[in-house]
Amino acid sequence: MIDCYSGISDLSKALRKKEISSAELTQMYIKRLSTLGKEYNAVAEMTEGTAYEQAALADHRMDETKNPLNGIPYGAKDLYATSGIPTRWGSPGHEDQVFDHDATAIAKVREAGGVLIAKLAMVELAGGGNYDVANASISGPGHCAWDKNLWAGGSSTGSGCATALGAVGFSLGSETSGSIICPSAFNGATGIRPTYGRVSRYGCMALSWTLDKLGPICRSAEDCGFVLDAMAGYDEKDPSSIREKLNLRRKGGKMRIGILKEAFEKNKAVECEKAYHNALDVFRKLGHETVDVAYPDLPYDMAVGIIVDAEGASAHEHFVRSDRLDKLVDVNQVAGMAAALQRPAVDYLWAMRMRTEALKANAIWDKCDCVFTPVFYHKSVPIEGSFTKSFENMGGASGPENLLGWPACAFPIGFEEGAPLGANILAPCMREDVCYRMAMDFQKNTDFHTKRPVPA
Amino acid sequence: MQKISRRDFGKKAAATAVALAVPSALLAQTPAATEPDPVVTDAECDDVQKKLSKPLSDDAHKILKADLVSQKKDTAARLKVSLPEQSEPCFIFVATPKRDDDKDRGQVS
């Protein structure tokens, strides 16, 4: 018996057996998203009109295609261009923005049979101006699926929340440096940040051309695999897209899991430490080994910050110079976008040279096949108040993963005061299969990803 | 965990939302806490303001000034990080040859 929390595999089987039609499934998720999803500020724009057309087409071709996404309703972060449907990038300054084309990823998921039921809420301009409050979005503050007093994370806010609420079959997010991993962790969802270039960025809002990645947020690693299969691939419209074929189900032996020096005690992360060690035990029981590793000491974060400033300022320069800048909700965003115009070119070029140096961190893969580390040391932060204060003690890894385009899979490993704790597996570039396999192994042997938040 | 500034948080969490600890090497290279903040003059803020269509609000102006201070701190910090003299930025301009179907154009027969 399927329900709104069912995995893609089960939903697909039910569709094929004609136990339910895509139109009915679409109706179920639209109802849930337009009520519960809106209540949690997870929705940017419902797309009922085109959704039912796509569902009808999916039902029509059900016997012709084997793609597991055929007929499955989904939502996309509101920075994916969708022809004829508003794409506001979470920004009141882009309220009237409608593109006449689809992002490549949207076109690929549609080709696979996915049914777009909504554009999902996000932090305005993916937070490029340095937001400091949960309210930094045209959609309002995104509530965590597990506790409305907590934030859903960002910047793929609605993608994380709506997925965890069972209000979409799956969702698409994006990440410059944390925006898939964070909302996945805060909402107890599973998200894959693919290798840089694995998914075409064409048609998606640029915050940083050299850091932006697109990927799925789902309720399991298995679901992420189905969605990433559809999204990935070379695209001549994106010069950074890669030609190497994605093979998530590549066979492999036992893994050497790299363990970083974590700061649980310093950050009073008692629950996270327990959950993390329990998760390691699960991996060890499956035969995987652990090995201590460390990244070269380099200012990775500062390089990321400078790159985002400079590339974001360039990508959004016309907007920043326009009379719409002050429409942004968060005054920190207004000031931050303006300040970024002053970022010196020599700073940016230094950051890109630092990035060359950071490639030395790839030496870690001589010692291990993947790294396992908490996304944060605590559950999500309060939805009210300044993040500057609330993110103290959240900790987390401070590595080269985004700078070097490494893939990751974030998934739930436990709870703290009733809200999810997430960890992620990082792997070398092009090795999403390692992230996928490890997360699959973990989820076959635990049930954290099957837990449902209260509204369910 | 050390207290992070709003701007620093922004770098770690804004686009991003991953709160990160600063690597120890960077901490060692960052100007000591006792060093005074770099000075940002009103003229420097005005330079930004001149690029904008509308005057910033008082709140935004204050944050802008803090952000410019933060940028100067970044510059000071990065200058203390040694990079190999011959290192190049992590992007390459690739000269694109003429397309094959162009090769005969311009040739005098």
Contact A330, A131 (CB under 8 A): yes
pLDDT of residue B4: 41
Name the residue with higher pLDDT: A398 or A204.
A204
- CATH code (residue A389): 3.90.1300.10
Chain A residues touching residue B48 (CB < 8 angstroms): 338-339, 341-342
Is B32 inside any structural domain?
A: yes
Q: Write down the mean pLDDT value for chain A.
A: 97
Is B98 inside any structural domain?
A: no
Q: Name the nearest CA neighbour of A67 among A22, A29, A33, A23.
A: A22
How many domains, chain B?
A: 1
Please report which confidence band the pLDDT of residue B15 belongs to, taking 50, 70 and 90 as the band edges: very low
Give the separation between CA A170 and CA B56, rounded to whole angstroms: 40
Contact at CB, A336 and B10, closer than 8 angstroms = yes
Catalytic residue among A139, A159, A174, A179: A179
Contact at CB, B52 and A353, closer than 8 angstroms = no
Q: Nearest residue of A to residue B51 by CA position?
A: A321
User: For A281-336, what is each residue's pLDDT tens digit?
Assistant: 999 999 999 999 999 999 999 999 999 999 999 999 999 999 999 999 999 999 99
User: For A173-182, what is each residue's pLDDT tens digit?
Assistant: 999 999 999 9
- The fraction of chain A above a pLDDT of 90, given in percent, is 97
Please report which confidence band the pLDDT of residue B106 belongs to, taking 50, 70 and 90 as the band edges: low
User: What's the pTM?
Assistant: 0.93
Which CA distances in Å does A32 have to A35, A168, B94? 5, 8, 50
Is B13 inside any structural domain?
A: yes
- The fraction of chain A above a pLDDT of 70, given in percent, is 99
Give the separation between CA A385 and CA A162, rounded to whole angstroms: 23
How many domains, chain A?
A: 1
B44 is in which domain, residue-wise?
A: 6-83
Q: Are strands A408-416 and A419-426 parallel, antiparallel or unpaired?
A: antiparallel
Is B59 inside any structural domain?
A: yes
User: For B23-57, what is each residue's pLDDT tens digit?
Assistant: 333 333 344 456 789 999 999 999 999 999 999 99
Contact at CB, B24 and A297, closer than 8 angstroms = yes
pLDDT of residue A396: 65
A191 touches B: beta carbon within 8 Å: no
User: For A137-158, what is each residue's pLDDT tens digit?
Assistant: 999 999 999 999 999 999 999 9
Q: Catalytic: A179?
A: yes
A105 is in which domain, residue-wise?
A: 1-456
DSSP A93-114: GGTT-B-SS--HHHHHHHHTT-
User: For B55-102, what is each residue's pLDDT tens digit?
Assistant: 999 999 999 999 999 999 999 999 999 899 999 999 877 787 876 665
Average pLDDT over residues A262-283: 97
Peptide bond into A155 cis (omega under 30): yes
